[in-house]
Structure 1
Amino acid sequence: MTFSIAARCPTTGCFGLAISSSSPAVAARCAYVRSGVGAVATQNSTDPRLGPAVLGLMAEGLSASAAIEAITASAEHIQYRQLTAVDALGNTSVFSGIHALGTSSWFKTDNCVAAGNLLASVDVPARMVEAFETAKGALGDRLIAAMQGGMVAGGEAGPVFSAGLLLIGAQNWPMADLRIDWDVEPISRLATLWTVWKPQMGAYIQRALDPTEAPKFGVPGDE
C-alpha cells in the first residue's frame, strides 16, 4: 500500500525521503530523517518504532546495512515490514519481509533506495531510482521527480491518497516536512506544495538561526 524513496545528496550531505500510499497520512508514520545520520522508511504493516531505531544505530556508527540487519534480527513481526535506509556515507540497504503485501519490490544504488508493496509492477522502484538519478535540481526536486516516475511506471495497484516529502540538512530539524494527507492526486499536490515552499525554505531556516539577518515578512511590526 506504499512506495517510497530515501536519498542522500553527496554534494550537500542533506537527506530526504518521499513517500505515497493509499492510506491516509503516510508520512506521519513512515518517514524518518536525522541530520548527519541518514534517512529511513518503515512501511507495510508499519511499525513507527523501527525508523528511529535504525537511525539510532546509524548514529552510533553502524552502516545502513548493519543497522537494518541488527533491527531485523530482533524486531517482532519483522516479516510483515519493509525497511529502507541510506547512511552518512551514502550506503543504502533494504529489507522486505515475506509478508509484504501484494507485488513488492525494491531497487537501490549509492545514495538512493526505493521500495514498495501492493505495486502495479515490480519495476516501480527501479523507475523511481532512474528518475531520481536523471533529474536535475535540488534534492527535493529529484525526490519529487522520483515519485512522479513511480506513478508513470504504475504506482500502486490502486489509487494513492497521501504523500509526503521530508528533508533535513545541517540543522537538527527538517528543512521541509510537507504532507498531503488525503487527496485524490496527492503526488501532484505535493509537487505544487514543494514549488511554493522551496523558494522560502532558506529564509525560514535563517529566521530560526538569526532573524536579524533574515528577509522581512512585510507586515506591521516587521522592522
Structure 2
Amino acid sequence: MADLSDFPITQKWAPENPDIIQLYSFPTPNGVKVSIALEEMGLAYEPHKVTLADADVKSPEFLSLNPNNKIPAIIDPDGPDGPIGLFESGAILLYLAGKTGQLLGNGATDRAKVTQWLMFQMGGLGPMLGQLGFFYKFAGSEWEDKRPQERYISEGKRLLAVLDKELDGRDWIAGDYSIADIAIAPWLRALDFYGAKDVVGWDDHKNLVAYLDRFLERPAVRKGLVIPPRD
C-alpha cells in the first residue's frame, strides 16, 4: 500500500485507497477537466470534494499541495519517481496524457498542436470567460461602469470566433479528440451557467454548437461532469 503520509492534505481528506490517484476537486469548468480526463483514460482514482470555501481551499492541508489555493489538484502514488502531487489543470492534463500515452495525438507534431490549443484555453479562453461571468452574472454585473463588462463580452466573442473558424470541417480542435478538447469544452458550457450565450451570439457559431454537443454526448464526459458531486 502506498505511503502518502508526506502529503499533509491526506490528513483532512483521508484516502480510502492510497494506491490510486487522489483527486481534489469541485465540478467547475477547471475542476471537471481532470475528472473527465481520468474517466476517458480509464485511470483508477478517488475523488475528494474540495469546496471553493476558504475553509477548504485556504486550509493549511490544501495549501500544502497547491499554494495557489485553487482546485483541482492530484496526488499520483505511482509517479515517475514515487508519489507526486500536482496542481494547475493544464499541467495535470499534460501529466496524465504523458503517463498513459492517450489524448495527445500521434507523434511530436500532434503533441505540439494539442499543447498549443491547451495553452489557448489556459491563457485565453478560460480567464476571459471567467471574467465575463464575473461582470455579466456575478458581483461585477452590479457595477455602474459597464466598460469592464463590455470588454469581456467583446473578448469572449472574439475567442469564440477563433474557435468556430478552426473547427470548420473538423470534429475536434487539434485532429483527434484530445486533452485540448477536454480543456476547452467545459468553458464553452459555462456560458450557459453565466446566462451569457445570447450576449456573445452563441447560436451564430454553428461549428461550436455542434462541437459542444459532440463533447457532451461522450459517456466519460457525462460522468466526469458530476465528479465529485456538489452535494
User: How does the TM-score come out when normalised to structure 1?
Assistant: 0.32
Greater strand content: 1
User: How does the TM-score come out when normalised to structure 2?
Assistant: 0.31
Higher relative contact order (CA 8 A, sep 6+): 2
Greater helix content: 2
